[in-house]
Amino acid sequence: MRVLQVASEATPFAKTGGLADVVGCLPDALSRLGCDVTLVIPAYREVLSKGFEIEHTGLSFEVPLGTRRLQAQILRGRLPGCSAMVFLIANDECFDRPTLYGGAEDYPDNAERFIFFSRAAIELAARQDRPFDIIHCHDWQTGLVSAYQKLLYRSSPMLSQSRTVLTIHNMAYQGLFWHWDMLLTGLDWKYFNWQQMEFYGQLNLLKTGLVFSDAISTVSPNYAREIQKAPGGHGLEGVLASRSDVLRGIVNGIDTTVWNPGSDPHIPRLYSAHDFDAGKYAARVALAARLGHAAPDARPLVAFVGRLVEQKGVEFIVELMSRMAGSGRAHFIVLGTGSRSSEEALQRVAASFPGTIDLIIGFDETLAHLVQAAADMMLMPSLYEPCGLTQLYALRYGTIPIVRATGGLVDTIVDTTPETLHNKTANGFSFTAFDSLALEHALTRALDAHRNRELWSGLVQQAMGQDWSWDASAREYLQLFRETQARTPATVR
């Protein structure tokens, strides 16, 4: 099966979050199942400046964008350690910028940039010498690809038999733009209606993808259910419910070569489930040194690593630390970057407890690995969480997740109770209420459990022994692709 993956980011080329990790791993996992996979991403400045082996293909073509025509230059590279070919679409006006999407504010021309990218990607597919069976798109940035395939490219010999699949990584980001951006798409205004591309007077690129794709997936079964209802669907619950017959939830895998305490170059002492105590202690010493402390204290280390935004429950973490940091029961470390209000709130509470809270504002992949290895517990009090990767990395590093039971956290984390301990399914602590007291209660249960060394060791070993590699997830994607290929696509008017 020939599969084209189209996405706006992919590890290790360019990353702002979990989407990149998924897109960076899935091609290899699908290749190992016999698929012939090609990936297309934008040639951002960040990608070109990282020293990857990237060459010009010599192919270049014009892409219509409203009344203008923009040049797309096609570059070629490879995903490290994987047979999948990567095409990079270069256009300096669109992608030669300091960041992927903008800073505190999105770039004002993100509609142009990703309409251009989507149109260039489908044009590139049409110019290949062998057809693609599946075009697998990710998130709003590629929402238009399925519309182009169905409306503009249905007579292309390379694309007429292709099926499109859209994976939603987060319903909160929909690519909403003012209605005049419809002109940039080159599609007929008749599609700008509430059943197809319009959302309350605006152009909605995610909705476009949901409507025109032959199949839809999201990154966990529980999130697939949540998004068919308010508030999980962020206004698109009706569209999703109407497509429930082709909507599937598939939990993300993790890159077990990158996230592996047995081979991680970012940690001072490699470890496994049998000697996690020694490995974690060494990581804790290294982390303390890195943060300028003389030595680590003896308290359990409770961590948060992630984007500092409302979705991640940062407010709960601030409230939790304000109440608990004075108790002396735990040391906290927060690594993240995000909204100014979240960063400032964290800075205030960290300044009040300098010996107990370490706050690192920034995006630091190496430190993320060290924190995962050093910490005893990982907080994820998310308001919603499509899948979540951080808790899966935590499990692998023997860092027990403390999560709000939402989205993919429900599918991956089993609360510790006498029963789940007995049947060996426990791997974390979870709570449901939408407040910091519930988080505090879960953390207190975890800290109590941590005092029981035998119980805690069993829990850590159970967590570290679980398999969250891509193999099972890739098999589910392949099954989805096969089913989608076998279905006759709906005709679009």
Nearest-CB residue for ligand ADP? 18
Is residue 118 within 8 Å of 65, Cβ to Cβ?
A: no
Residue 209 or 306 having the CB closest to ligand ADP: 306
Tokens of 152: 């503009």
Residue 336 or 489 having the CB closest to ligand ADP: 336
User: Which residues contribute to the site for ligand ADP (CB under 6 A)?
Assistant: 17-18, 21, 305-307, 335-337, 363-365, 368, 388-390
Residue 240 or 360 having the CB closest to ligand ADP: 360
The CB-of-245 to ligand ADP minimum distance in angstroms stands at: 27
Residue 139 or 415 having the CB closest to ligand ADP: 139
The CB-of-443 to ligand ADP minimum distance in angstroms stands at: 19
Residue 188 or 365 having the CB closest to ligand ADP: 365
Residue 374 or 447 having the CB closest to ligand ADP: 374
The CB-of-258 to ligand ADP minimum distance in angstroms stands at: 9
Residue 17 or 186 having the CB closest to ligand ADP: 17
Q: Phi and psi for 394 in degrees, rounded to 5?
A: -60, -45
The CB-of-395 to ligand ADP minimum distance in angstroms stands at: 12
The CB-of-364 to ligand ADP minimum distance in angstroms stands at: 5
The CB-of-363 to ligand ADP minimum distance in angstroms stands at: 4
The CB-of-176 to ligand ADP minimum distance in angstroms stands at: 19
Name the residue type at position 424: K
Give the contacts of 253 (CB within 8 A, at least 6 positions apart): 25, 29, 468, 469, 470, 471, 472, 473, 474
Residue 279 or 401 having the CB closest to ligand ADP: 401
User: Residue 309's closest CA among 335, 332, 342, 333?
Assistant: 342
The CB-of-57 to ligand ADP minimum distance in angstroms stands at: 31
